Structure 1
Amino acid sequence: MTKGLFPVGGPVDREDLVGREEFIVSLVNRLQEGQSVMLAGPRRIGKTSVAHEVLRRLREKGAYTAAVDFFRFSGKRDFAYSLINACLENRTGIKKTLSILQDKAKALSGGAKFAIKLKDLEISFGFAEKKSDDELLDYALMLPGILADRDKKLMVVMFDEFQDAPRMTDTEIFKRMRAHFQAQKDVAYLFLGSKEGMMQALFSERKEAFYRFATMLPIPGISEDDWVPYIVKKFNSRNIQVDADMVKEIIRLSGGHPQDTMFLCSEIYYTLLETGDDVITHDHVRLGYERAMLALAPIFDEILDDLSARPQVRRVLYRLALGENAYEEGIHPNKVKRAIDLLLGRAVIERTARGSYVFVEPMFQQYILEQFQH
């Protein structure tokens, strides 16, 4: 299937990973040496794309890899199956090895227990319904270490939306994981999470199970110097001319936010297709921006509706969007602080200095200004 010129709506291919090379190399080196790493940041800034490229490069170097996303799981069993399959794929090349093995067991045993040997790796599950969730979960958590030991390989496991793990069971899951992980040799973990406050607490607070288990690294932004040649090259690949100043205007409007910049460029591209033009002008950028804002409006409205359920948050959002001090006369400072803490926790804003904040997504900031001024 033909892809759009600019990737939108999900992880991007390696050729579209703009300005991330040094960071990717650093992650590969750390994980290859057995160091576990935690990356936290809001959704849609490219964490997952970076992580998958890191895993790809590690596989090229001979490592085993596994990737699972906690956002997709409904319970322990669901997670256990996913992790087991991701690990076994290194041996079989099949994404759902466990399902295939169990189907074979069912066919051959007529419903009785059946032990299947995968080369020298003994997997004795019988049927899933005959095993408890806890038995499956413990086996899944041990399997990375088992494979690393049996095959004399480095195993690197990536967990996406790691802070959501308790959603499938309870907070005790973190203690259970740590108990298994800390005993494993030649296994490194890459933890990703979109709720930065929760992730920071999980890995930096002494009372938490994963205290100091992984190195916490900041995710670098993408500079204008990286964006400009990439965007120019992409448009040129379709025989569309754009000068550097026009690209800088695009980056200013999107704030350099990874997905918003790609989305804005995509809308400008479709505007050009409709007009039949092959040189980008300010009018094309303006029309593309208007179209992008219209398309993003439902997402932004949902964020606003969610945040507005909390007292004082809308007012604080608007003042921050205007570039004003969030604190004002007549409003108790504690109420403002609670609102700011919520916005920080939801990764809507980030602190740049004491009392100074910027929006993670500048197009959301502009949307707020437009909504409040109507």
Structure 2
Amino acid sequence: MPGRLFPLGGPVSEEDIVDREDFLISLETRLLECQSIMLAGPRRIGKTSLALEVIRRIKGKENYVAFVDLFRYNTKRELALALINACLENRSGISKTTTALKDGLKKITGAAKLTAKLQDLEVAFGLPGESKSDDDLFNYALELPEILAQKDKKHMVLVFDEFQEVIRIAGEDALKVMRSYFQVQQHVAYLFLGSKEGMMNTIFGDKKQAFYRFATILPIPSIPSESWVEYISRKFQAQKITISDRVILEVLSLSGGHPQDTMLLCSEIYYSLLEAGVNNLGLDFVRLGYERALSSLSPVFDELLDELGRIGSTRRVLISLTRGLRIYSGLSSNPNEVKRAVDVLIDKAIIEKSGRGAYHFVEPMLKEYLNRKIEVF
């Protein structure tokens, strides 16, 4: 059986990034000019894939790059060590460098190659040891990218994925500390990614926040239908499966062009065809694939609905939107409570505003799932 035709569950390779070339070129150009960028958007729309692709291209030009996913860490010390490790890997090429350095470079035995690569940093900057406090280690980590770039005459691009999580990890005061280091660095550009758009827009757009106007906020462009048609057609035809543009447009109508949902739907259609031994894709297999995709998403959607059920009037608002009603009409809830529910749904990237008092679902498949579940609310 062929390998996975439509990638799911994580960042995708360059060949599966659909119609983002102009945006990638813009990102690369800005970052190489030392402009810091902020990208915000819901999970599963491709932010991490874009970031990994752009740093792959930048690293290929002999620049230094570092990638830190804040969602993985719970303490300031963990975050600091992750940042130190990501930076030093540019020079050492050895994963988990900080594990080897935890007792200090001079105590390392049998690591001459690593020692030679980091010796001048120890002399000039002092490498981390277990005796440092969490705050000292964090400050060290924030200063290291610029020191390393200067020392090696390199330009560094540092990506923070799920950047809003820094508040959970280290508190809001950490933002002030980070800004104090970043704003004086001349050889480092930062790419900040975040899935909680409300928080990210506050961090970078509120005058009271430390990161106000530190990074250029760029909207992630949507993928045009014609680009999806070309991509989906090419992928199926590579497996000798016949497909028409009309069928692809039906796929996009069902998925709404949502990147991960479109990939999931296409994947389920593909495996349905394989199981049936059919190489001509018609609307019947689109409908079968859709039911299978919706079924696989049901645990994700159920968990989301359980979470929302604990927050004010969010479920009621979702039901109204599913039924095509305007949310401020026909609800018995206090308008302020409705407004808070709408803000929560927007912040969680479940709905988007489409006009005055009008909203639409980010994922049409969630709307369909809710439509089928309304009777249980």
* TM > 0.5: yes
Q: Which residue of 1 aligns with 2:328?
A: 327
Q: Which residue of 2 aligns with 1:362?
A: 364
Alignment of 1:259-274 (within 5 A): 259-274=260-275
Write the distance in 1 (CA, Å) between the matches of 2:300 and 2:128.
45
Cα deviations across residues 299-320 of structure 1 (Å, max 9, x unaligned)?
0001111111122211210111
User: Which deviates more from structure 2 when the two are superposed, residues 323-332 or residues 30-39?
Assistant: 323-332
Report the CA distance between 1:323 and its aligned residue.
Answer: 2.2
User: Which deviates more from structure 2 when the two are superposed, residues 96-105 or residues 37-46?
Assistant: 96-105
State the one-letter code of the partner of 1:30. R
User: Which deviates more from structure 2 when the two are superposed, residues 342-351 or residues 306-315?
Assistant: 306-315
Q: Which residue of 1 aligns with 2:44?
A: 44
Q: Which residue of 1 aligns with 2:252?
A: 251
Write the distance in 2 (CA, Å) between the matches of 1:126 and 1:22.
41
Q: Which residue of 2 aligns with 1:35?
A: 35
Q: 1:12 to 1:62 in 2, by over 3 A?
A: same
Secondary structure at the aligned position of 1:287 is classed as helix
Contact 2:92 2:117 in 1 (8 A): no
Contact 1:39 1:192 in 2 (8 A): yes
Q: Which residue of 1 aligns with 2:314?
A: 313
Q: Which residue of 1 aligns with 2:95?
A: 95
TM-score (norm 2): 0.93
Secondary structure at the aligned position of 1:350 is classed as strand
Write the distance in 2 (CA, Å) between the matches of 1:227 and 1:70.
31
Contact 2:100 2:108 in 1 (8 A): no
Q: 1:140 to 1:3 in 2, by over 3 A?
A: farther
User: Which deviates more from structure 2 when the two are superposed, residues 329-338 or residues 229-238?
Assistant: 329-338
Contact 2:121 2:127 in 1 (8 A): no
Secondary structure at the aligned position of 1:162 is classed as coil
Alignment of 1:197-236 (within 5 A): 197-236=198-237
Q: Which residue of 1 aligns with 2:83?
A: 83
Write the distance in 2 (CA, Å) between the matches of 1:68 and 1:190.
11
Write the distance in 2 (CA, Å) between the matches of 1:332 and 1:168.
35
Write the distance in 2 (CA, Å) between the matches of 1:35 and 1:11.
24
Secondary structure at the aligned position of 1:358 is classed as strand
User: Which deviates more from structure 2 when the two are superposed, residues 329-338 or residues 51-60?
Assistant: 329-338
User: Which deviates more from structure 2 when the two are superposed, residues 247-256 or residues 91-100?
Assistant: 91-100
Write the distance in 2 (CA, Å) between the matches of 1:351 and 1:153.
43
- Structure 2 segments unaligned to the other structure (5+ residues): none
Contact 1:34 1:188 in 2 (8 A): yes
Structure 1 residue 342 corresponds to structure 2 residue 344: yes
Report the CA distance between 1:3 and its aligned residue.
Answer: 4.1
State the one-letter code of the partner of 1:47. K
Q: Which residue of 2 aligns with 1:112?
A: none
State the one-letter code of the partner of 1:294. S
State the one-letter code of the partner of 1:366. E
TM-score (norm 1): 0.94
Alignment of 1:296-307 (within 5 A): 296-307=297-308
Alignment: residue pair count: 368
Q: Which residue of 1 aligns with 2:60?
A: 60
Secondary structure at the aligned position of 1:315 is classed as helix
Report the CA distance between 1:2 and its aligned residue.
Answer: 7.4
Cα deviations across residues 78-108 of structure 1 (Å, max 9, x unaligned)?
1111111111111122222222344775454
Report the CA distance between 1:126 and its aligned residue.
Answer: 6.1
Cα deviations across residues 256-276 of structure 1 (Å, max 9, x unaligned)?
000000000000111011101
Report the CA distance between 1:345 and its aligned residue.
Answer: 1.2
Report the CA distance between 1:119 and its aligned residue.
Answer: 5.0
Structure 1 residue 172 corresponds to structure 2 residue 177: no
State the one-letter code of the partner of 2:72. R
RMSD of Structure 2 on Structure 1 (CA): 1.9
Report the CA distance between 1:346 and its aligned residue.
Answer: 1.1
- Structure 1 segments unaligned to the other structure (5+ residues): 110-114
Q: Which residue of 2 aligns with 1:159?
A: 160
Secondary structure at the aligned position of 1:4 is classed as coil
Cα deviations across residues 333-363 of structure 1 (Å, max 9, x unaligned)?
2222121111111111111222121111111
Cα deviations across residues 32-67 of structure 1 (Å, max 9, x unaligned)?
111100000110000000011111111122221100
Contact 2:101 2:129 in 1 (8 A): no
Contact 1:125 1:131 in 2 (8 A): no
Write the distance in 1 (CA, Å) between the matches of 2:137 and 2:178.
13
User: Which deviates more from structure 2 when the two are superposed, residues 17-26 or residues 99-108?
Assistant: 99-108
User: Which deviates more from structure 2 when the two are superposed, residues 1-10 or residues 98-107?
Assistant: 98-107
Report the CA distance between 1:154 and its aligned residue.
Answer: 1.1
Q: 1:126 to 1:79 in 2, by over 3 A?
A: closer
State the one-letter code of the partner of 1:345. D
Write the distance in 2 (CA, Å) between the matches of 1:236 and 1:41.
32
Report the CA distance between 1:223 and its aligned residue.
Answer: 1.2
Write the distance in 1 (CA, Å) between the matches of 2:223 and 2:326.
27
